[in-house]
């Protein structure tokens, strides 16, 4: 038990999801430190520490909130930030596909190396609880079955995609594979460098927990959307892109046949999952490592998402182009049974409500970044 509020460090706490985790933690009674490098390709707006603090609201003026401008890969910064910290929510990462494979050293440095530096510092300072922001991308394609049962999907060929055959085919029956909900025990098959580094983060977290007696909660986020989502940056998701197109008076262009299945989850529910993970870990044995899909369990298509945004904004119907990107995942939807059962967590915002809100919610504009001076800004 703490005589004072427990102390949470949120890495990447100035980001789209990280800032929502900070706000949720404050509401739950945590003292919070934010560590963020305010990287310009992530924060493509004039984001400063005071502006970030303002997001958390005046109701938290009596609680200490510390924002540190620094890099997770810097041991000196971590040695300054971690004393007194009880748990870490590790959101900091380089996301997206990048330009080409020449970006791979930056992904590995930002995601795997930085995570290993963080975990080593947590070991030095005896911080025992970690919630890691992982991703659905570690699975590659989702779960499938044919007439004979579950089966892994092969990569789709250019010839099939050119012919408009977008669904993977069964190599043993020759029939179209039927998509299913993937569980946390499903095979991992990362298809790009970002996905490989997210899986690497999970392995590092597991190694840390087993070596130090820490507890690692691995949260595999599915398609996250919501207010303050970035736009006009490599970090913008398809929901953000469609909304920007509609706001400009154009019709969104949907690749393939628009029937790609996804699980769209509101950022506030993702933040709540982080807090649920922190609570859950307290009752677990030393060395516990557990992965959880952070998803609604409800299936929607990319075309449905584009149409929902268009209807809310009064824009034209989406254009289904038949175009494709070689290597794209066809279907990836998740079972949320584990997180619902073990953490007693359920999403609060459904697809229709969330998309209607998101269509008119504030976004992060793509302007030149204005980094704060290195150091700290505190309020409290």
Predicted confidence (pLDDT) per residue in 246-269, tens digit? 999 999 999 999 999 999 999 999
**Structural contact between residues 352 and 25, judged by C-beta atoms closer than 8 angstroms:** no
- Better pLDDT: 120 or 366: 120
Range of the domain at 89: 7-142+182-360
The answer to whether residue 367 is domain-embedded is no
- Determine whether 241 is exposed, middle or buried from the number of CB atoms within 10 Å of its CB (0-12, 13-18, 19+): middle
Q: The CATH number of the domain where 201 resides is what? A: 3.40.50.720
The answer to whether residue 174 is domain-embedded is no
pTM score above 0.85: yes
Q: What is the mean pLDDT of the chain?
A: 89
Compute the half-sphere exposure of residue 29: CA atoms within 13 Å on the CB side of its CA.
7
Predicted pLDDT of residue 48: 53
**Structural contact between residues 183 and 335, judged by C-beta atoms closer than 8 angstroms:** yes
Residue 240 has pLDDT above 60, yes or no: yes
**Structural contact between residues 205 and 132, judged by C-beta atoms closer than 8 angstroms:** yes
The full DSSP string for 174-224 is: -SBPEEEEEPTTSPP---SHHHHHHHHHHHHHHHHHHHHT-EEEEEEE-EE
Q: Which two tokens stand for residue 7?
A: 């102390």
Residue 175 has pLDDT above 50, yes or no: yes
Residue 43 has pLDDT above 80, yes or no: no
Q: Which two tokens stand for residue 241?
A: 């892109």
**Separation between Cα atoms, residue 119 and residue 199, nearest integer Å:** 15
How confident is residue 33, by pLDDT bands cut at 50, 70 and 90? very high
If one counts the domains in the chain, the total is 1
Across 26-39, average pLDDT: 92
Predicted pLDDT of residue 237: 79
Residue 95 has pLDDT above 90, yes or no: no
The answer to whether residue 173 is domain-embedded is no
How confident is residue 50, by pLDDT bands cut at 50, 70 and 90? low
Backbone region of residue 38 per phi and psi (left: phi > 0; alpha: psi in -120 to 50; beta: other values): left
How confident is residue 51, by pLDDT bands cut at 50, 70 and 90? low
**Separation between Cα atoms, residue 224 and residue 203, nearest integer Å:** 23
Q: What share of the chain is helix, strand, coil (3-state, %, to 5)?
A: 35, 20, 45
Predicted pLDDT of residue 234: 53
The full DSSP string for 240-289 is: HHHHHHHHTT-PPEE-TTS--EE-EEEHHHHHHHHHHHHHHHTTSPTT-E
Contacts of 246 (CB under 8 A, 6+ apart): 252, 309, 310, 313, 315, 359
Reported as a single tens digit per residue, the pLDDT across 370-380 is: 343 444 444 33
**Separation between Cα atoms, residue 320 and residue 337, nearest integer Å:** 33
- Determine whether 287 is exposed, middle or buried from the number of CB atoms within 10 Å of its CB (0-12, 13-18, 19+): middle
The answer to whether residue 103 is domain-embedded is yes
The answer to whether residue 36 is domain-embedded is yes
β-sheet bridge partners, residue 216: 130, 289
The answer to whether residue 60 is domain-embedded is yes
Number of Cβ within 10 Å of residue 361's Cβ equals 15
Predicted pLDDT of residue 80: 97
Map tokens 């995942």 to a residue.
329
Contacts of 59 (CB under 8 A, 6+ apart): none
The answer to whether residue 350 is domain-embedded is yes
Q: Which two tokens stand for residue 257?
A: 């046949």
The answer to whether residue 163 is domain-embedded is no
For the chain, percent of residues with pLDDT exceeding 70: 86
Compute the half-sphere exposure of residue 144: CA atoms within 13 Å on the CB side of its CA.
24
């Amino acid at each position: 038990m703490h005589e004072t509020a427990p102390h949470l460090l949120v890495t990447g706490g100035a980001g789209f999801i990280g800032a929502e985790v900070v706000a949720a933690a404050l509401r739950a009674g945590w003292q919070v430190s934010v560590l963020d490098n305010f990287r310009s390709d992530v924060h493509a707006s004039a984001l400063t520490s005071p502006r970030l603090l303002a997001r958390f609201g005046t109701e938290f003026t009596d609680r200490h909130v510390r924002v540190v401008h620094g890099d997770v890969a810097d041991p000196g910064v971590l040695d300054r930030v971690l004393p007194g910290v009880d748990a870490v929510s590790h959101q900091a990462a380089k996301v997206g596909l990048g330009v080409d494979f020449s970006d791979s050293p930056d992904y590995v440095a930002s995601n795997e190396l930085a995570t290993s530096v963080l975990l080593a510092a947590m070991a030095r300072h005896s911080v025992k609880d970690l919630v890691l922001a992982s991703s659905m991308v570690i699975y590659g394609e989702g779960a499938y079955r044919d007439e004979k049962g579950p089966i892994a999907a092969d990569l789709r060929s250019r010839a099939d995609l050119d012919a408009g055959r977008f669904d993977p085919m069964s190599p043993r029956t020759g029939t179209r594979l039927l998509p299913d909900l993937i569980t946390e025990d499903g095979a991992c098959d990362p298809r790009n460098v970002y996905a490989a580094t997210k899986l690497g983060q999970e392995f590092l977290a597991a190694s840390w927990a087993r070596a130090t007696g820490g507890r690692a909660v691995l949260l595999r986020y599915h398609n996250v959307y919501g207010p303050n989502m970035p736009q006009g940056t490599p970090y913008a998701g398809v929901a953000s892109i469609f909304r920007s197109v509609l706001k400009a008076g154009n019709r969104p262009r949907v690749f393939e046949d628009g029937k790609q299945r996804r699980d769209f989850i509101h950022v506030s529910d993702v933040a709540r999952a982080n807090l649920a993970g922190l609570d859950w870990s307290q009752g677990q044995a030393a060395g516990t490592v557990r992965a959880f899909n952070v998803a609604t369990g409800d299936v929607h298509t990319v075309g449905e998402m584009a149409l929902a945004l268009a209807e809310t904004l009064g824009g034209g119907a989406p254009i289904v182009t038949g175009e494709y990107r070689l290597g794209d995942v066809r279907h990836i939807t998740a079972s949320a049974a584990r997180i619902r059962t073990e953490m007693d967590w359920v999403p609060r915002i459904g697809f229709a409500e969330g998309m209607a809100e998101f269509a008119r919610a504030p976004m992060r504009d793509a302007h030149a970044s204005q980094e704060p001076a290195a150091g700290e800004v505190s309020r409290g």
